Amino acid sequence: MTQKDAVLKEVQAIPERFLGELLDFIQQLKLKAAMDRSGTALASEPILAVDWKRLEEDEAWRDL
């Protein structure tokens, strides 16, 4: 059984009154994952900026 299967099995067994809390928790996890991904992108920006700020880059993108 995969972890996903185990989670789904547990969700099926949770009383209805706790499903709102579970949904909130799942949404928090999704937000955390999105923030982790965007953090990686932001950390990359200074390194990529070295190439972005070159005159050759400005010339290449001028007509677009």
DSSP state of 62: T
| Cα gap 15→25, rounded to integer Å | 15
Please report the pLDDT score of residue 38 as a whole number: 72
| Cα gap 10→2, rounded to integer Å | 12
Q: What is the DSSP string of 1-61?
A: --HHHHHHHHHHHS-GGGHHHHHHHHHHHHHHHHHHHHHHHHHHHHHHHHHHTSHHHHHHH
Please report the pLDDT score of residue 37 as a whole number: 74
Please report the pLDDT score of residue 3 as a whole number: 97
Please report the pLDDT score of residue 41 as a whole number: 66
Please report the pLDDT score of residue 20 as a whole number: 92
Q: Could you list the mean pLDDT of each consecutive 10-residue stretch along the chain, which spans 64 residues?
A: 95 95 92 77 70 76 78
Please report the pLDDT score of residue 42 as a whole number: 65
